[in-house]
């Protein structure tokens, strides 16, 4: 029999104790009860353990485990660290959580053992933001999984994430799945439910982002282009950005406000402050300007300052109003599109309130930092060109840091559209691992992944790597790869990995991101040499299928079975993608369209079986752009 007790009455630590009891029983088969003398769960500071190696123990995680076979201390610097520590202890007993849901979980049968472990992750912020398409089960399963792999953050996007629920049953889907209620009222209830699940686990809850510029003026900004289209009341047009001499609505999330209009600015500030006061469950409120680029107000008054100067004025006013109401919600501001350029005159007065959100949305994902000297450009109103070089993005970031020394995070897009073009899943994995290292070296204090919550179709390794590499900087790429692949694919993992490397090479990520056209005048994807290489895809996937069959004959658990099922589907997927890229590479988009339509129809048939792992809407939407795009869309 084992006993589990907690120091204090924190609800998150209480939940951690229940999780330990549940899994200890599953592992050992022995009775586990609440009581002293066995395992003790506690905050490190309350039991005299040193936390001086982190800046703020309430925000920065330390995981501490010191146990024998019969009990001991499982502790953390804050409540969610204690929960993560419980799962880290269980990992050392052989528990595995490769991806969300029961099929991603393996619980061994055996005995406990002594464990000594201490880790202070370099990143304060580690987690995802809702993107792509979701169902409520997908969201809840992800939230349950996050602390099991060492993540501590979850973000909801927009005033409520209606668009992400509704996309799941859009015209891009086959309609084979029964749609849950995705009305605004239903999604509001879903948000309340998943927020509760976040708080139960102590996850740091981030909220909203875009939308503030229109919400106070009667536009419910829960989608980029909601149906029916929103209508702006004539009396509110004066508060909208002036572009080409007109003040009008340009999409619910893409319309900037006239920042020099003090009355309009005050209405927005009042709305934000009231929201923060009414939603104390929000730990970090993202206060961004509108989405899109080159849409800043062009009125005579707004022209007097840069977008970032107006933004800082606005944020300082927000801080003052929050302080007057004794609201301590932290505010995350976005260095994004026009505000990539740092302010020229204004400075944030209270940096402790704010988190700098570095969001390099137009960067290239085929390369990281190249070490190339960069000359930054001067801000010009609505004449911004996309920044593709990460070196250039960091040049602007360094200028921001001259005036702001507070907390920071990266809002990254690895698992958004860029992952859809990575057929093997290995290119994004390599980019993620390299980026985590370089962001850490440059003082960025975490990453929120703006991408699908279903990045597991390509095996899930890249996302698992994202979680574990942020959590433990001592783990190498090879360590995490072997850990994941050996459990997912059993004894055949090395051979399976070799096949995936061949798929990676055949598609070539630079080609997939439109960087290797032999003649851009014909097409961004014109490359007869690539077509010839891709004709050999079925030889690669047939060899992969042969190893899958061998692994399936000996698989020993549900995680391995599910992983092999996904891998078999991925082999078919690679064949079908090659089938429509070959004619595109040969300069025949009409033939490519026929093969693409066949690919979509087949993936629609598989949609229900693949639902927890594959974001159908996101993948087919961005693969289709290979056929129709004339310009890079990133």
For 191-329, strand residue ranges (E) read: 204-209, 242-243, 246-247, 284-287
Q: Which domain holds residue 493?
A: 488-628
Q: Tell me: do 251 and 369 sit in the same domain.
A: yes
In a domain, 466, yes or no: no
Q: Tell me: do 356 and 495 sit in the same domain.
A: no
Q: Does residue 198 contact residue 15 with C-beta atoms inside 8 Å?
A: no
Largest CA distance in the chain: 76
Q: What is the CATH number of the domain that holds 42?
A: 3.30.379.10
**Could you give the C-alpha distances from 277 to 160, 218, 219, 327, 330, in angstroms and in order?**
17, 20, 21, 7, 12
Residues whose CB falls within 8 Å of the CB of residue 292, separated by 6 or more in sequence, listed in order = 250, 251, 253, 254, 337
Q: Tell me: do 367 and 508 sit in the same domain.
A: no
- pLDDT for the residue numbered 174: 42
The residue from 119, 144, 160 where one domain ends is 119
Q: Tell me: do 226 and 114 sit in the same domain.
A: no
Cα-based torsion angle of the residue sequence 303, 304, 310, 312 in order, rounded to the nearest 10 degrees: 150
Burial class (CB in 10 A: 0-12, 13-18, 19+), 605: exposed
Q: Tell me: do 115 and 211 sit in the same domain.
A: no
Q: Does residue 91 contact residue 117 with C-beta atoms inside 8 Å?
A: no
Spell out, as residue ranges, where the chain has pLDDT lower than 50: 171-176
Q: Tell me: do 339 and 245 sit in the same domain.
A: yes
The token pair at 338 is: 């026009």
In a domain, 278, yes or no: no
Q: Does residue 504 contact residue 426 with C-beta atoms inside 8 Å?
A: yes
In a domain, 159, yes or no: no
For CA atoms 210, 215, 219, 222, the dihedral sign is positive
pTM to 2 decimals?
0.97
In a domain, 221, yes or no: yes
- pLDDT for the residue numbered 393: 97
- pLDDT for the residue numbered 515: 95
The residue from 70, 92, 119 where one domain ends is 119
In a domain, 126, yes or no: no
Q: Tell me: do 211 and 320 sit in the same domain.
A: yes
- pLDDT for the residue numbered 555: 82
In a domain, 36, yes or no: yes
Instruction: Say how many domains are in the chain.
Output: 3
The token pair at 78 is: 């804050």
The residue from 119, 136, 167 where one domain ends is 119
**Could you give the C-alpha distances from 268 to 215, 490, 568, 572, in angstroms and in order?**
8, 55, 51, 50
**Distance between CA atoms of 117 and 96, rounded to whole angstroms?**
17
Q: Tell me: do 220 and 330 sit in the same domain.
A: yes
Count of Cβ atoms closer than 10 Å to residue 609 Cβ? 13
- pLDDT for the residue numbered 227: 85
In a domain, 518, yes or no: yes
């Amino acid at each position: 029999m084992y006993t589990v007790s907690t120091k204090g009455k924190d609800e998150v630590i209480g939940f951690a104790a229940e999780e330990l009891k549940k899994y200890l029983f599953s592992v050992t088969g022995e009775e586990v009860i609440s009581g002293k003398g066995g395992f003790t769960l506690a905050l490190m500071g309350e039991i005299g353990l040193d936390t001086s190696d982190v800046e703020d123990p309430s925000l920065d995680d330390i995981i501490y485990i010191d146990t024998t076979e019969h009990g001991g201390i499982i502790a953390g610097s804050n409540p969610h660290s204690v929960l993560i520590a419980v799962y880290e202890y269980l990992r050392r007993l052989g528990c595995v959580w490769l991806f969300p849901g029961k099929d991603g979980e393996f619980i061994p049968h055996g005995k406990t053992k002594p464990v000594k472990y201490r880790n202070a992750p370099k990143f304060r912020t580690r987690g995802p933001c809702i993107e792509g398409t979701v169902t409520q089960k997908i969201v809840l399963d992800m939230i349950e999984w996050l602390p099991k792999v060492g993540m501590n953050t979850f973000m909801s996007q927009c005033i409520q994430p209606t668009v992400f629920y509704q996309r799941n049953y859009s015209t891009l889907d086959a309609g084979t799945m029964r749609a849950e209620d995705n009305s605004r009222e239903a999604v509001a209830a879903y948000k309340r439910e998943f927020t509760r699940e976040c708080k139960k686990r102590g996850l740091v809850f981030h909220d909203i982002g875009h939308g503030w510029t229109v919400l106070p003026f009667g536009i419910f900004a829960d989608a980029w282009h909601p149906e029916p289209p929103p209508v702006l009341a004539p009396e509110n047009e004066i508060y909208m950005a002036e572009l080409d001499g007109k003040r009008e609505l340009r999409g619910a999330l893409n319309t900037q406000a006239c920042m020099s209009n003090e009355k309009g600015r005050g209405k927005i500030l009042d709305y934000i402050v009231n929201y923060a006061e009414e939603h104390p469950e929000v730990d970090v409120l993202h206060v961004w300007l509108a989405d899109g680029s080159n849409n800043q107000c062009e009125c005579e008054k707004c022209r007097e300052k840069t977008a970032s100067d107006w933004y800082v004025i606005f944020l300082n006013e927000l801080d003052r109003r929050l302080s007057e109401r004794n609201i301590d919600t932290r505010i995350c501001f976005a260095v994004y599109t026009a505000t990539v350029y740092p302010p020229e005159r204004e400075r944030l007065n209270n940096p402790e309130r704010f988190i700098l959100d570095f969001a390099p949305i137009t960067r290239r994902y085929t390369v990281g930092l190249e070490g190339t000297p960069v000359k930054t450009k001067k801000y010009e109103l609505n004449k911004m060109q996309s920044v593709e070089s990460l070196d250039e993005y960091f040049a602007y970031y360094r200028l921001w840091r001259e005036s702001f020394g507070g907390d920071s995070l990266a809002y990254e897009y690895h698992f958004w559209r860029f992952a859809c073009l990575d057929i093997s899943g290995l290119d994004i994995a390599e980019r993620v691992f390299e980026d985590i290292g370089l962001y850490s070296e440059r003082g960025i204090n975490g990453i929120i992944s703006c991408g699908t919550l279903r990045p597991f179709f390509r095996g899930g390794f890249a996302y698992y790597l994202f979680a574990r590499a942020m959590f433990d900087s001592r783990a190498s790429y090879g360590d995490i790869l072997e850990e994941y692949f050996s459990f997912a694919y059993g004894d055949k993992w090395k051979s399976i990995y070799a096949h995936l490397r061949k798929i990676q090479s055949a598609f070539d990520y630079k080609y997939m991101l439109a960087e290797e056209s032999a003649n851009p005048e014909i097409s961004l994807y014109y490359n007869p040499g690539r077509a010839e290489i891709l004709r050999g895809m079925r030889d690669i996937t047939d060899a992969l299928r042969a190893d899958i069959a061998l692994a399936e004959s000996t698989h020993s658990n549900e995680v391995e079975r599910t992983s092999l099922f996904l891998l078999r589907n991925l082999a078919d997927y690679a064949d079908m993608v090659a089938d429509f890229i070959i004619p595109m590479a040969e300069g025949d988009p009409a033939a490519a369209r026929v093969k693409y339509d066949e690919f979509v129809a087949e993936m629609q048939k598989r949609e229900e079986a693949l639902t927890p792992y594959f974001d159908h809407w996101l993948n087919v939407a961005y693969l289709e752009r290979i056929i129709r795009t004339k310009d890079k869309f990133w």
